[in-house]
Structures are given as C-alpha cells and as structure tokens.
Amino acid sequence: MAPAGTIQASPDTKVVDATGKYVVPGYLNMHMHVVGAEHTSETLDSMLAEGITGFRQMSGSYELLKEWHSGAFSSSTDQPALLTMPGDILTPINASTPEIAAEFVRLQKEEGAGFIKICRKSIRT
C-alpha cells in the first residue's frame, strides 16, 4: 500500500483505487463457538462479510483437533481462517488432582491444542 505514483507495480499486480476510502487489516474474533454448529458455513460467510478474517474456536475436542490438523478446516480466502482451538475443557470433574491436571495439559499439548480452556467450577445440569 502506497500513495499513488510512488511505486511501480508490475503488469500483473492488481491495483485498487482506494481514494476516499478506509483500508484496515482483517479483524480477529477471539471467542467463537462456530465449528460444528448447525450453520457453520453461513456464520463464517457472515463473519467474513463483517471483516473478520480469522477466529479462535473456544470449544473443541480431541476429535476436532484431529480433523483440524488433517486439514479439514483449512483456511481459504472465502471464509475466515481457524487460528487455534482447544481440546476438551479442563474441569474439576476430569482433573480432580494436580497430577491428573498436569497429565491433562501434557496430553492437550501432544494432541496439538492451541490453548487450554479451563472451567474452575463443575457444571451441573
């Protein structure tokens, strides 16, 4: 990006005249629960239309991590890119001792989780 006439573009370079317009980078949504939702594709299309070019998925599982790392959620210019995703949520139910919690974290790292989502209190239904 440069003021008009200050750089020489090659013949195959796409030039956009943004005179009188604002140019901003893509925005990142850092708290989404879109992967696996009923209308995932439509939601991603809407996000891109609003300028969101990447997102962090806040819910995950070992199965979703495997899909993501196999390329199932590959980024494209048609939808926002999935930036990172956790595995299962760390709770007092599945990590009742410090030793179990440490093993949970080690496994999350091994499975390729981008971060670990923690819930301090048990969820009761």
What is the residue extent of each domain of the chain? Answer: 27-87
9 pLDDT above the threshold of 70? yes
Determine the average pLDDT of the residues in 57-83. Answer: 85
Residue 122 near residue 93 (C-beta atoms within 8 A): yes
76 pLDDT above the threshold of 70? no
Task: List helix spans (H) across the chain.
Answer: 40-49, 62-69, 98-111
122 pLDDT above the threshold of 60? no
Q: pTM for the whole thing?
A: 0.71
| Predicted pLDDT of residue 17 | 85
Q: Percentage of the chain surpassing pLDDT 70?
A: 94
